[in-house]
Structure 1
Amino acid sequence: MNSAGNGTPVKVGSLFAAIGGFCRAFIEAGATVVWANEKDKLQAETFRLNYPNVRCLNKPIEELTVLGDCLEEVDVLTAGFPCQPFSIAGERRGLKDERGLLFFQIIRIIKEFGRRKPKVLLLENVKHFKSHDQGRTYKRVQTEIQKAGYWFGDSNAKL
């Protein structure tokens, strides 16, 4: 995965990193994970044990800032934002649930990078995310990603 255009490994940043599942996949593909964020203390400790060479910031995403936390520019930004608000197993409150609103923190972080924003976003959620609230939630997320400067069509969302 050394296709960053200059022969160097692709650099990855990870929001809602948990214990590092996305990070493992990228590392195994040859990328370099340079930083991660996880608010849960135990998950962050496990992440650090799994990836001792990756800078892991253990704080709520609402407190994370590109400038204040000196987040290095990355090629890929991953985020497995909370799925409970969108899951058929939950109350399905979506963007009316404060956990559902955390998606907008991803957009905020992207905007803070400005012209240095990640080239690629990889977001993960639950199977029924596209159909939540009769597709309105997905459409809102798609619109916000497009407004942040990314190309994102319906064919880009995979189950």
Structure 2
Amino acid sequence: MKRYAISLFSGAGGFDLGMEAAGFTTRYCSDIDFHSCQTLQNNRDEGLRSGLHHFLSEATVEQADIKEVTTEHILDRANLKKDEVSLIYGGPPCQAFSVFGQRKGMDDPRGLLLWEYIRVIREISPPIFVFENVAGLLSIDNGKVFNMFLDEVSKDSNGNKVYEISHYLLDTAEYGVPQFRSRLIVFGAKGKEIPPIPVTHTEHPAEATLRAYNTVGKVLNDMPTPPSSKLANHIGRVHGTDIINRYSALAYGERDSKTRINRLNPNRPSYTIVVGSDKGGGKGHVHPEEPREVTPRESARIQTFPDFWAFSGTSRHPIRQVGNAVPPVFGAVIGSHILKEFFEDPDAPNFDQIIKNLKLEYLY
């Protein structure tokens, strides 16, 4: 049985890869960013052409401003009826919460990305939705803005409660991602509350059911020296002598005083990847063994993207897409949890099956 999903604010497809690896079939992905949509489209088409993978094989990819897209249009492009949609997932850029608070929530909802997310949820009314975003949303205006959002997204347009809401602050390193990355996950489910996702990884596992953190060294140790044509986006920045000397002197975990990034410890998960702004500034951290910043492809491994998933654009575009993404493994853990707890699916994949489904040989 196929369970169809709709992806909003899709970016480079990290959440989409995860949901499909868990077992959902995404039929519509959209984002306003050109290069992100090119990444989705190119990888979908290459998978169909080569047979290497089947991710997003049924998805329509659309570059669009969500404020200008009706739910009728979304359903038409997805070739779905409302009652055929099992899941909506995604999360607006975090700036949406600041604007939401400044505009006092629903008093003037026009043009608010957060409101558009709520609008699509209300009009399609899927059995369950999942919202992902940065941890800082919990503290805007002492939590008032976040609580306002939870109240609104739980109701229909008439003010009737539709969804049981649960939210959790999770760190991706505790779910097999070789990166410390704190993320807020909100579930809205009809008829039941979604329980917490059990932790699978820890620093010093004392229980047989838990595994040790995946580490930077584990995912980088077999990579060729950049630049390399063997892997997409494996091209690094060219550093001058001054930067090389500073990076060479850094101890594991130490931060460079000028670039404000840390040298990675091969025996621990990475620090959170720095995203930057639309004008640039996104970067990885300092490679654990070489005096250079990690390449976009190395950052993509730290984010648990498969090596075949190539990113569109040059220079700042790939690293920004990587840094903004939901780690696919983390997305798959969320998707599997939904299948198990909400849909009561006995075939929801475990961690080993997720790794296999995503073809992440470097995590085996």
Q: TM-score, normalised by structure 1?
A: 0.78
CA distance in 2, matches of 1:121, 1:131: 22
Residue aligning to 2:164: 151
Matched, 1:126 2:115: no
**Matched residue SS, 2:147:** helix
**Matched residue SS, 1:35:** strand
Alignment of 1:14-53 (within 5 A): 14-52=7-45, 53=57
Aligned to 1:83, which of 94, 108, 114? 94
Identical-pair percentage: 28
CA distance in 1, matches of 2:14, 2:91: 10
CA distance in 2, matches of 1:94, 1:29: 32
Residue aligning to 2:61: 56
Runs ≥4 in structure 1, deviation > 6 angstroms? none
CA distance in 2, matches of 1:84, 1:109: 19
- Tell me, which stretches of 5 or more residues in structure 2 are unaligned? 46-56, 104-108, 157-161, 171-364
CA distance in 1, matches of 2:136, 2:10: 21
The letter for the 2-side match of 1:83 is C
CA distance in 2, matches of 1:64, 1:111: 14
**Looking at CA atoms only, which structure, 1 or 2, has the larger radius of gyration?**
2
Q: CA RMSD in A?
A: 2.2
Residue aligning to 1:89: none
CA distance in 2, matches of 1:62, 1:32: 25
CA distance in 1, matches of 2:150, 2:39: 32
Aligned to 2:123, which of 81, 106, 112? 112
Flag the 1:106–1:128 CA change in 2: closer, same or farther, 3 A: same
**Matched residue SS, 1:57:** strand
CA distance in 2, matches of 1:144, 1:150: 10
Matched, 1:96 2:102: yes
Matched, 1:140 2:151: no
Deviation digits for residues 58-116 of structure 1 (CA, Å, limit 9, x no counterpart)? 11000111213414342111112111355xxxxx5553279x93111011112222xxx
CA distance in 2, matches of 1:30, 1:146: 25
CA distance in 2, matches of 1:152, 1:38: 25
Deviation digits for residues 35-67 of structure 1 (CA, Å, limit 9, x no counterpart)? 111111111111112234210121100011121
The letter for the 1-side match of 2:20 is I
**Matched residue SS, 2:154:** helix
CA distance in 2, matches of 1:94, 1:142: 12
Task: Using the TM superposition, name which of 45-54 and 26-35 deviates more.
Answer: 45-54
Q: TM-score, normalised by structure 2?
A: 0.36
CA distance in 2, matches of 1:147, 1:28: 30
**Matched residue SS, 2:118:** helix
- Tell whether the 8 Å contact from 2:2 to 2:24 is kept in structure 1 after alignment: yes
Matched, 1:11 2:4: yes
- Tell whether the 8 Å contact from 1:10 to 1:32 is kept in structure 2 after alignment: yes
CA distance in 2, matches of 1:139, 1:157: 13
Aligned residues between the structures: 141
